[in-house]
Amino acid sequence: MENNQKKVTLDSLATMIANRIDGMEEKMDAGFKEVKDEFKKVRDEIKEVKDVTENIQAEIIKKVDKVDHNTLIYRVEKLEKKFV
């Protein structure tokens, strides 16, 4: 009966393990880059939404200020008519 099993030395075993680890590192690096790119896209979209929201808020403040201003003008005119 022949023994067809290949003998594995410590050096060859270490080389096999190192090769597997290197392959896993490359896959992990690619996966992390993918996740990092997705986070950047989400961050950019959040910034865009924030900018739009700030612009809307600024416009609302302008409108409220104008309404308040017009209301005050109206009230002053009424007072002037009443006391003049």
pLDDT in tens, 27-84: 888 888 888 999 999 999 999 999 999 999 999 988 888 888 899 999 999 999 988 7
pLDDT tens digit string along 3-19? 667 777 888 889 888 88
How high is the pLDDT of residue 2?
A: 57
Buried-exposed string 32-70: b where 16+ CB fall within 10 A, e elsewhere: eeeeeeeeeeeeeeeeeeeeeeeeeeeeeeeeeeeeeee
pLDDT at 55: 94
